[in-house]
Amino acid sequence: MLQFKPITIEDKKTITTFTQASTFLNCDLAFSNLCSWGFLYDSKFAVDDDFLYIRFFLIVKNKRHQAYLLPVGKGDLKQAIEKIELDASKSNHPLCIFGVTPDGKNVLNNLFPGAFIFTSDRNYVDYIYLREELKTLKGKKFQPKRNHINKFNKQYDYTYAPITPEMVPECLKLEQKWMQANHNEKDMASRQYERRSLTFALSHFQELELTGGAIIVDNEIIAFTYGSPINRYTFGVHVEKADIQFDGIFSVINQAFVSHLPEQYLYINREEDMGLPGLRQAKLSYHPVILLEKNKALKRR
């Protein structure tokens, strides 16, 4: 029987022991995301027989739905999936697994032929890039990005600095300014959730062992970003905010941040576009090497 408990900062070592050794590329498994978004999804974890289990809840049409991520670990995956199915049945929920990549889909089909119904949503694919491409911006396809950066360099005298706890209040101030500039009543709830997650992450920057960077002009932070490892060779960028009055600033912070990441990271996961047209256009403009489809797998009863 799986014993689930809430995900706290103190569980970082336990959870990342599994995730860092995995081959999963999806942003859902970055510890910072699991921890800082726990308030919304009531995220919990369990460890049993060399597998990590993540359980959470989604509100769909005013109903609470129990769901899981694919178990992470080594051993009998079929048995691990049967354990979460048993856990789901105790709450009278069908087994529902989120974030199932094409590789995971193949695994489930092999272990349980015809047992799962798979659905995917284009709004929730992960955008994954080669770190070296984002760093160098070489080639014709990145010419517009280089143009933005060159123009910015001519206009502004700026510095790049790693984020420290002392910079957090100013980062939060900039994020509030960004929210006001991008005010939209339809997205207000989701943006308030993001602000809560962001505030938690920034307030526990050292404990979460986040990596972040900021662009500073005239002693003022005009852009900041941060992220954390997903596995040993994939880094996840969780947040990127900037003062849009500075033309080209997103290109500048993007390249500067990636340039300061350790070379061990082959891939950069810049997460989802949530179906927002402007965000989708921006993410596609950086030419992802992988658009990582993530399925919902619902087990037939």
| Among 185, 169, 255, 270, residue whose Cα is nearest residue 213 | 255
**pLDDT tens column, 62-121:** 778 899 999 999 999 999 999 999 999 998 889 999 999 999 999 999 999 999 999 999
pTM of the model: 0.95
Judge whether residue 191 has pLDDT over 90.
no
70 three-state secondary structure: coil
The token pair that represents 121 in the structure block = 């949503």
In this structure, the answer to whether residues 62 and 81 fall within a common structural domain is yes
**pLDDT tens column, 48-67:** 999 999 999 987 777 788 99
Judge whether residue 181 has pLDDT over 80.
no
In this structure, the answer to whether residues 132 and 233 fall within a common structural domain is yes
pLDDT at 186: 66
In this structure, the answer to whether residues 151 and 270 fall within a common structural domain is yes
Q: Which residues pair with 235 in a beta bridge?
A: 229, 268
In this structure, the answer to whether residues 116 and 154 fall within a common structural domain is no
In this structure, the answer to whether residues 108 and 205 fall within a common structural domain is no
Which whole number is the average pLDDT over 201-216?
96
Higher pLDDT, 61 or 171: 171
Residue 70 belongs to domain spanning: 5-125+295-299
In this structure, the answer to whether residues 49 and 175 fall within a common structural domain is no
In this structure, the answer to whether residues 50 and 159 fall within a common structural domain is no
- Please name the residue ranges forming H helices in the chain: 12-19, 31-36, 38-41, 77-90, 102-111, 131-136, 143-155, 168-181, 188-203, 249-259, 277-284
- 185 band by pLDDT with thresholds 50, 70 and 90: low
Judge whether residue 179 has pLDDT over 90.
no
In this structure, the answer to whether residues 101 and 139 fall within a common structural domain is no
Judge whether residue 183 has pLDDT over 70.
no
In this structure, the answer to whether residues 110 and 97 fall within a common structural domain is yes
- Tell me the C-alpha distance between 225 and 245, whole Å: 17
User: Residue 151: what residue type?
Assistant: K
In this structure, the answer to whether residues 19 and 86 fall within a common structural domain is yes
CB 271 within 8 A of CB 291: no
CB 225 within 8 A of CB 253: yes
The CATH number given to whatever domain includes residue 117 is 3.40.630.30
**Structural domains in the chain (count):** 2
What is the CA 86 to chain-centroid distance, rounded? 28
Q: What angle do CA 29, 193, 241 make, to 5 degrees?
A: 80
pLDDT at 65: 87
Please report, for residues 110, 232, 237, the alpha-carbon distance to residue 249 in angstroms, rounded to integers and kept in the order given: 47, 29, 16
In this structure, the answer to whether residues 80 and 160 fall within a common structural domain is no
- How long a stretch of residues is the chain? 301
pLDDT at 64: 83
Strands 267-269 and 126-130: antiparallel
